[in-house]
A and B are shown apart, each in its own frame.
Chain A
Amino acid sequence: MAEYVVARADELKPGDRKLVAVGRIQVVLFRVGDAYHALPNICPHQFGPICEGKITGAIMANADTGWEPGWFHDGEVLVCPWHGLEFRITTGQCLAYPNVRLRQYPVIVDGDDVKIAL
């Protein structure tokens, strides 16, 4: 597994993202709070450029909410711009399907560099 420098440590503010190409692979680096996450820029549904989508929260309802809709994961949900499939940036988990998850690339902060491992 090789490491690639994709950003400077002071480059992304919380809520920012950066699209990078590593060879033929498009990866998006996200900063959520103080943590970094790197996801592939391809939606597993119909291969849309997922990381160009809105970063927001999600409406969810379950037994804990008494089945009333509530707002969850604010600033941590990525919505595919093509058909609206939602993913947790922090885990890659698709909200619509328990068995669908985006690949997460390891992110390493090394001094002034932010690197991803592929």
Chain B
Amino acid sequence: MVVATPRRLTLDDILVVDADVHVHETPDELAPYMDPEWRPAMENLRQVARRYLDMPGFGPNNAPRLPGTSLPSPRGGRVEIVWTAEQMRRELDEFSIDVGVIFPDHFLKLAALPNAAYATAITRAYHRWLKEKWLHAGNDLYATIMAIPQDPEESVREIERWADDERFVGIYLPTHQVYPIWGHRKYDPIYEVAQRHDLPVLLHAVSGIASGFPYNVEQFYTSITAHTVSHVFAMMSNLMSIMETGVPVRYPNLRIGFIEAGLTWVPFLRMRLDKEYNENRHQWPHFDDRPSRWIRKFYFGTQPVEEPENRQDLVDIIRIYDGEDTTVFATDWPHHDFDHPRAVFDLPVSNQVKRKLLGTNAMKLMPRIKVPAKYR
């Protein structure tokens, strides 16, 4: 008698949703999609040095750092750019990733652009470009609508323009140099429109630094220092700001996600905040229970996923912040610190939890994503 042995679960057996992949928008790419009055701005940018994610007028870093003075990585020169939807599809396939959710490259720094009309113009062009160049039938790529913090009213109009397109599955909130941070009441219209269209808002961190925010990071002179803390500081500040003005109680059906800050900061912030709440409930009178009750409903992207010596430690961290149903896998592909899905798949958890972390939690966060044909 032949007895079939159950095959071990592999990445190919489960739905893998990548909550964070990056396309490379450039002035040349966007020029044809600009409104005519702003098209010359893309021509002007030809005179600006094309530094990677550090381009004045397009993806400004604004940090007091001198290009060329940092030590090159010994790992050599992989080109960390995805130029086309076909390239993205091919590279995600190599990682057994079924679905990718698109964020920008240079526009991670959108909020640092002072001119609101210009920020609006490039946002409009970016969305048209995404729709035409990236969201092709059957490629299982989806995109996020970019919010324009410089002009929330205009941002709402732009969100409305794309909200009925089912390939846009969330609203991306830039955090780099955003001022004021995302709890400010001026952003209420963005939260209102997001909730109305059942679109999650996804805050995305980046390690670009500037004097003042994230705090003190401008004093570091190696990227390991800044990169360790800057994403986390930005997320902590924005999460606290959102809590301070009661966004999660005022918009109870709004789903909120925090992308690219890892996971281990979440238990700290929850416990510390709950402790403060004992003394200071009167300052946050919109909460009628410990604040972590609302943080528990937030979603957190895994990347850059912590890799403790004992992998169980990370599982414990996820348990401590009640994250089994709210943690979503992300690669950050093609950026230098991308995570392969194995970094999460290999955690010592049940197959059911692997499926949640790698796919089904993201489907809950972004329910517009269709189950790919392979799994139907």
- Report which A residues bind B (CB closer than 8 A): 45, 58-62, 67, 69, 83-86, 95-98
A67 near B278: Cβ-Cβ < 8 Å: no
A59-B285, A96-B289 known; 11 new pairs, CB 8 Å cut-off, are A67-B249, A83-B278, A83-B279, A84-B282, A85-B278, A85-B279, A85-B281, A95-B288, A96-B278, A96-B281, A96-B290
Q: Which residue of A lies closest to B280 (CB)?
A: A84
A45 near B285: Cβ-Cβ < 8 Å: no
CB of B59 closer than 8 Å to a CB of A: no
Q: Which residue of A lies closest to B277 (CB)?
A: A96
A60 near B285: Cβ-Cβ < 8 Å: yes
Bound complex: CA A98 to CA B281 (Å):
13
B278 near A84: Cβ-Cβ < 8 Å: yes
A95 contacts which chain B residues (CB < 8 A)? 281, 288
B289 contacts which chain A residues (CB < 8 A)? 96-98
Q: Which 3 A-B pairs have the closest CB atoms?
A: A61-B285, A96-B281, A61-B286
B288 contacts which chain A residues (CB < 8 A)? 62, 95-96, 98
A86 near B282: Cβ-Cβ < 8 Å: yes
Q: Which residue of A lies closest to B246 (CB)?
A: A67
Q: Mark B290-311, 1 if CB is under 8 A from A, else 0.
A: 1000000000000000000000
CB of B342 closer than 8 Å to a CB of A: no
Knowing A67-B246, A95-B288, say if A86 contacts B278 (CB, 8 Å). no
Most buried by A among B246, B250, B278: B278
A83 contacts which chain B residues (CB < 8 A)? 278-279
A-B contact pairs, 22 of them (CB 8 A): A58-B285, A59-B282, A60-B285, A62-B286, A62-B288, A67-B246, A67-B249, A67-B250, A67-B286, A84-B278, A84-B279, A84-B282, A85-B278, A85-B279, A86-B281, A86-B282, A96-B278, A96-B281, A97-B289, A97-B290, A98-B288, A98-B289
B249 contacts which chain A residues (CB < 8 A)? 67
Bound complex: CA A62 to CA B285 (Å):
8
Bound complex: CA A61 to CA B285 (Å):
5
Interface size class of B (residues with CB under 8 A): 10 to 19
- Report which B residues bind A (CB closer than 8 A): 246, 249-250, 277-282, 285-286, 288-290
A45 near B282: Cβ-Cβ < 8 Å: no
Output the least CB separation between A67 and chain B (Å). 5
Bound complex: CA A14 to CA B277 (Å):
30
Output the least CB separation between B109 and chain A (Å). 32
A59 contacts which chain B residues (CB < 8 A)? 282, 285
A86 contacts which chain B residues (CB < 8 A)? 281-282
A98 contacts which chain B residues (CB < 8 A)? 288-289
Most buried by B among A61, A83, A84: A61
B281 contacts which chain A residues (CB < 8 A)? 84-86, 95-96
Output the least CB separation between B275 and chain A (Å). 9
Bound complex: CA A62 to CA B213 (Å):
32
Q: Which residue of B lies closest to A95 (CB)?
A: B281
Q: Which residue of A lies closest to B288 (CB)?
A: A98
Bound complex: CA A58 to CA B281 (Å):
10
Bound complex: CA A43 to CA B249 (Å):
28
B290 contacts which chain A residues (CB < 8 A)? 96-97
B282 contacts which chain A residues (CB < 8 A)? 58-59, 84, 86
Output the least CB separation between B241 and chain A (Å). 16
Bound complex: CA A11 to CA B47 (Å):
86
Bound complex: CA A95 to CA B289 (Å):
8
Output the least CB separation between B273 and chain A (Å). 12
Output the least CB separation between A66 and chain B (Å). 9
B246 contacts which chain A residues (CB < 8 A)? 61, 67
Knowing A61-B246, A67-B249, say if A45 contacts B278 (CB, 8 Å). yes
B250 contacts which chain A residues (CB < 8 A)? 67
Bound complex: CA A59 to CA B286 (Å):
9
Bound complex: CA A84 to CA B246 (Å):
21
Bound complex: CA A109 to CA B281 (Å):
35
A58 contacts which chain B residues (CB < 8 A)? 282, 285
Bound complex: CA A61 to CA B249 (Å):
10
Output the least CB separation between A23 and chain B (Å). 30
B277 contacts which chain A residues (CB < 8 A)? 96
Q: Which residue of B lies closest to A96 (CB)?
A: B281
